[in-house]
Structure 1
Amino acid sequence: MSILPAFLALTLPAWSGAAPAAKPAQPLNVLIIGADTLRADHLSLHGYKYPTSPNIERLATRGVVFERTFSQGSYTLSSFASLFTSRYVEQHHAVSKFTAISDSETMLAEVFQKAGYRTAGFTGGPNLALQYGFGKGFDTYLSGDLPRQMDAYIPVALKWIQKDRAKPFFLFLQPQDVHPPFDVLELPEAERDRWDPGDHERTERFMGTFYLFRAFNGDAFANNKPEPSDWLQKEIAAAAKDPRTKRHMASIYDDRVAHLDASLGRFFAELERLGVMEDTLIVLVSDHGTLFGEGGKFAHGMHMSTHDGIFHVVLAVWAPGLAPRRVKSPVELVDVAPTLLELAGLPRPEPFEGRSLVPLMRGQEDSQERPVFGTATATWNESGAIKHYVRDPRWKFVSEEPSGKTTLYDLASDPEEVRDVSAARPEEAQRLSGLLTRHLQRLLSRP
């Protein structure tokens, strides 16, 4: 039988009616599932048109779903660096394949490790490799040594969890089921045609190995610029004008989302069977999304898009006795680490920038909408090009370096984010420019 730790009973009264007790003998375990490339608006959890996430939804009836979570980075390295350091991209400087998290940064896993937790991280891709500083604070850290799918993580994670049940654990998993490339032509017909039959060969070109790795990454890397060369740009532009192609690409992605959801269902069932769910705080989060022709762009990581399809991510939290709730206030990935530390009763490192979301989990919505900030960089870019943005409920203001170009989007009338309205709405552009400038100045004052 699980006993809800006293610090949870004290900080989150809605979670449990248990009376406060002395310091708990066994703190809650912490499990973070960082689903790479999972767009929030493609989950039925968030009202998507296809039933892509039934298992996540079932677990959500026992937890808190944050409806408007925004990442700080545009691809895996920069985004997860912000999650684990609770620092903005301009501070941790992990902006491309040629950079890494500074060794001076305090990582979330370090705090749990020093508190006596067993710590492990299992990642399937190269972007969270040891060379980028992500192994700090982990007793065990495997990066790129596992297949990309969640199904491969299940036996590894379960074996590690059961290795020592006497100590609490901190476990990070990074499944890449929904991260291209997809071997579209190899998928069973029932899966690739699940929601939208289409031109599989063309979809393979855009979402398969050729497009993502040989053409897009390789080309951008060879030319040392954040955009692919002219021949590929023309192919992208043609596809962006073809609604049929875009729909089919999205449907293949949706199938992969459903595949991940089914795997998570199996994993959660095993945790239930082992009695682990009773004592575990589970976080499902994503680092960024991907594009299917929005603003004439596809994929992510190479084109420095600031579109919500990249930055609107998933965040849901489950724990024993947690009262189900949907939070509408906008939050950021830098808020995840401070939240987990408060829930665990552990001290917050001074450099952390994010805020604890515990008050929101209690039902105390923000009285005034907070702006969110993000930074778009390019995976292979060495040129120093970068885009900073600030977003409020209606407007998004983007400032580019080193060009100095600025853009204002009216999200209410232009969700594709293609029309610059700064000349028509100079007062909004000036207001948000000042907000972004003050934010960046503050970050630079806290290196």
Structure 2
Amino acid sequence: MTSRRNVLFIMCDQLRFDYLSCAGHRRLKTPNIDRLASRGVRFTNAYVQSTVCGPSRMSAYTGRYVRSHGSTHNGVPLRVGEPTLGDHLREVGVRCALIGKTHMTADEEGMERLGIARDSIIGVRIAECGFEPFERHDGLHPSTSYDPDPAYDTYLREHGFGAANPWEHWANSGEGENGENFNGWLLVHADKPARIPEEHSETPYMTRRAMRFIEEAEAKGEAWCAHLSYIKPHWPYIVPAPYHAVYGKADIQPPVRSEAERLLPNPIFEAFQQERYSKNFSRDEVRETVIPCYMGLIKQIDDQLGHLFDFMEKRGLFENTLVVFTSDHGDYLGDHWLGEKYLFHDVAVKVPMIVYDPRPEADGTRGTTSDALVEMIDLAPTFLDYFGGKAKPHLLEGRSLLPLTSGERTSLRNFAVSEYDYSGDAARLKLAMPVSDCKLYMITDGRFKLVHGESLEPMFFDLRNDPGELRDLGREPSAASDIERLRKMLMRWLALPNNRITVPDEWLTEIDDKIGHFDPIIGSGVLIGYWDEAELAKQQEARRRWLARRDRK
């Protein structure tokens, strides 16, 4: 390794943990992601902190649980003052750049209250999760860019794909034989090729932009962290040719669901089964139309990562670059009679996570899998650790993964937690719940999984004996003791948020020696609780003796 280190942080959007060939998918081939797994560690129990884009990503970028950073739903701003990955890495001299999506909503009101201009350097950092926005692209959402090259919509217009919204009209719509436009938002059109030529579609474009950033940073001799954040295979489910025709009905895995899941289900489960997206994805016709497209989107990502990895190989970047491949959440795709991702079955809350660690200490774990419980919040402390930064446990609630990639026999945690605020969903109305009570929590110890919500009966699964999570044991008397055990673990976790973020634990513990010998306030002019002059004099003498011993040392 060289002395200068880099990080490539690749995140897909809505990619299931089991839709990779290295994770056991029988028909989908992802040789380039598999190649990364053969050089690193593939974590098989990686959980996100929320099953919706914004909160999950804010946890990834802050290293903090949703209950701590407060961005509880898409559109809820990450408040001013929440330190992020970019902030931590800048402290150790690392250029931290975004190439793609964050789903970040800026705290405009907070910035205005503090007099921070949106277009100032500080304002941009606050508004972009601490990243330098080399190329932000959230698709449907507004994009911004520090880079002189055009953003994706402008790029499309300059290449002859003009429209009021070229992202939707060209990159995410289909075209009929007579030039008619097929709306890519509609699931029925998922089997059609996108109107855009493949080389101009989102995934290749953003891959090229990542290579451009790396070239620029390398030319300047900078240590860098590049967050390549693909917007796919998230909907709209449409992919350009030839990827629209790579997979078909025969390649679809059977849905993981049972009729028993629709008989007297938990009320929150039933409410989400009644959503439009769930009713449609419960139909075989929809799955047979959409899933081959979803697989094609993943295949396109894998092919582009092949180009990126070849680019890195030619420049020797695998010698000093930590590479992480993951996703912000999964996708039900009709499993459990659900669409989208909002509940906590593994297909939604568990994600692929592959970590390639170039250090010699990691040679013994190359090509292995780990079943350790890891969380999305572990990535920020991992990157800080890799760059040699000081650990910040009072602030970063995750744990560095480097001990695991180094082969140390250690356990990072006894349980993993995820959260979802369903106050913006129709489920709140169906259940007649107040907004303040619409919080769902999942906790798993790797063997069992509990889903807990205020005023709701629990959902509970035995992951060892029922890995498909087809039987909810929440009403079973035989599960009561394990339900209560996990509930107590969850309540303890909820009672201990990391809210003191301005000073580390050492700020408190560094006076432990003084506390053991005398009142550390003595000498400050503040006298609390003393009875008389004699008691005060005794403490003052103890202080003088302690100072003398310290000076002799």
**TM-score class normalised by the smaller sequence:** 0.7 to 0.9
Give the superposition deviation at 1:440.
Answer: 0.7
Aligned partners of 1:61 and 1:160: how far apart in 2?
26
Deviation string for 1:252-294 (max 9, x for gaps)?
3222111111111111112223333333221112110111122
Give the superposition deviation at 1:38.
Answer: 1.3
Q: Tell me what 1:139 maps to.
A: 132
Match of 1:332 among 369, 375, 380: 375
Deviation string for 1:231-255 (max 9, x for gaps)?
x64x743651x45643553333222
Find out whether 1:371 has 2:415 as its counterpart.
yes
> Within 5 Å, which residues of 2 pair with 1:8-87?
24=3, 27-87=4-64
Match of 1:282 among 312, 318, 323: 323
Aligned partners of 2:28 and 2:376: how far apart in 1?
26
Greater gyration radius: 2
Identity of aligned residues (%): 24
Q: Tell me what 1:170 maps to.
A: 225
Moved more, 429-438 or 406-415: 406-415
Q: Tell me what 1:211 maps to.
A: none
Moved more, 127-136 or 273-282: 127-136
Give the superposition deviation at 1:81.
Answer: 0.9
1:245–1:136: structure 2 CA closer, same or farther, 3 Å change rule? closer
For the Cα contact (< 8 Å) 2:79–2:106, is it kept in 1? no
1:169–1:379: structure 2 CA closer, same or farther, 3 Å change rule? farther
Aligned partners of 1:245 and 1:140: how far apart in 2?
37
For the Cα contact (< 8 Å) 1:73–1:375, is it kept in 2? yes
Aligned partners of 1:379 and 1:248: how far apart in 2?
31
Aligned partners of 1:286 and 1:229: how far apart in 2?
24
For the Cα contact (< 8 Å) 2:14–2:327, is it kept in 1? yes
Q: Tell me what 2:238 maps to.
A: 183
Deviation string for 1:368-420 (max 9, x for gaps)?
9721111123494593422111112332111114x344222233336245624
Q: Tell me what 2:406 maps to.
A: 362
User: In structure 1, the residue corresponding to 2:497 is in which secondary structure?
Assistant: helix
Match of 1:250 among 287, 291, 294: 291
Amino acid in structure 1 at the alignment position of 2:480: P
Aligned partners of 2:333 and 2:311: how far apart in 1?
34
Q: Tell me what 2:260 maps to.
A: none
Give the superposition deviation at 1:141.
Answer: 4.6
Q: Tell me what 1:390 maps to.
A: 443
User: In structure 1, the residue corresponding to 2:249 is in which secondary structure?
Assistant: coil
Q: Tell me what 1:104 maps to.
A: 81
Aligned partners of 1:265 and 1:438: how far apart in 2?
44
Give the superposition deviation at 1:151.
Answer: 0.7
The structure 1 segments of at least 4 consecutive aligned residues displaced by more than 6 Å after TM superposition are 226-230
Match of 1:154 among 186, 193, 207: 207
Aligned partners of 1:124 and 1:367: how far apart in 2?
32
1:413–1:434: structure 2 CA closer, same or farther, 3 Å change rule? same
Match of 2:70 among 93, 96, 104: 93
Number of residue pairs the alignment of both structures matches:
388
Deviation string for 1:126-181 (max 9, x for gaps)?
x2355595624333354334367321112222222222421111111110221111
Aligned partners of 1:369 and 1:228: how far apart in 2?
30
Aligned partners of 1:432 and 1:446: how far apart in 2?
26
Q: Tell me what 1:216 maps to.
A: none
For the Cα contact (< 8 Å) 2:78–2:104, is it kept in 1? no
1:379–1:195: structure 2 CA closer, same or farther, 3 Å change rule? farther
1:169–1:238: structure 2 CA closer, same or farther, 3 Å change rule? closer
1:419–1:192: structure 2 CA closer, same or farther, 3 Å change rule? farther
Find out whether 1:269 has 2:310 as its counterpart.
yes
Aligned partners of 2:213 and 2:280: how far apart in 1?
48
Higher relative contact order (CA 8 A, sep 6+): 1
Give the superposition deviation at 1:121.
Answer: 0.6
CA RMSD of aligned residues (A): 3.0
Find out whether 1:237 has 2:289 as its counterpart.
no
Aligned partners of 1:138 and 1:308: how far apart in 2?
30
Amino acid in structure 1 at the alignment position of 2:104: L
Aligned partners of 2:16 and 2:374: how far apart in 1?
15
Deviation string for 1:294-329 (max 9, x for gaps)?
2221012xxx31111111112112243542032121
TM-score normalised by length of structure 2: 0.64
1:369–1:123: structure 2 CA closer, same or farther, 3 Å change rule? closer
Amino acid in structure 1 at the alignment position of 2:18: D
Aligned partners of 1:74 and 1:156: how far apart in 2?
28
TM-score normalised by length of structure 1: 0.78
For the Cα contact (< 8 Å) 1:95–1:378, is it kept in 2? no
Aligned partners of 2:75 and 2:93: how far apart in 1?
33
User: In structure 1, the residue corresponding to 2:64 is in which secondary structure?
Assistant: coil
Q: Tell me what 1:410 maps to.
A: 462
User: In structure 2, the residue corresponding to 1:326 is in which secondary structure?
Assistant: strand
Amino acid in structure 2 at the alignment position of 1:337: A
| Structure 1 gap segments, 5+ residues each | 6-23, 200-225
Deviation string for 1:318-353 (max 9, x for gaps)?
243542032121211111111121121112233111
Aligned partners of 2:297 and 2:422: how far apart in 1?
24
For the Cα contact (< 8 Å) 1:198–1:248, is it kept in 2? no
Find out whether 1:317 has 2:293 as its counterpart.
no
1:190–1:111: structure 2 CA closer, same or farther, 3 Å change rule? closer
Amino acid in structure 2 at the alignment position of 1:123: G
Q: Tell me what 2:337 maps to.
A: 296
1:263–1:66: structure 2 CA closer, same or farther, 3 Å change rule? same
| Structure 2 gap segments, 5+ residues each | 109-125, 138-142, 144-151, 153-166, 168-200, 253-269, 429-434, 502-553
Match of 2:489 among 421, 435, 440: 435
Aligned partners of 1:317 and 1:39: how far apart in 2?
17
Give the superposition deviation at 1:96.
Answer: 1.5
For the Cα contact (< 8 Å) 2:251–2:292, is it kept in 1? no
Give the superposition deviation at 1:60.
Answer: 2.0
For the Cα contact (< 8 Å) 1:113–1:138, is it kept in 2? no
Q: Tell me what 1:19 maps to.
A: none
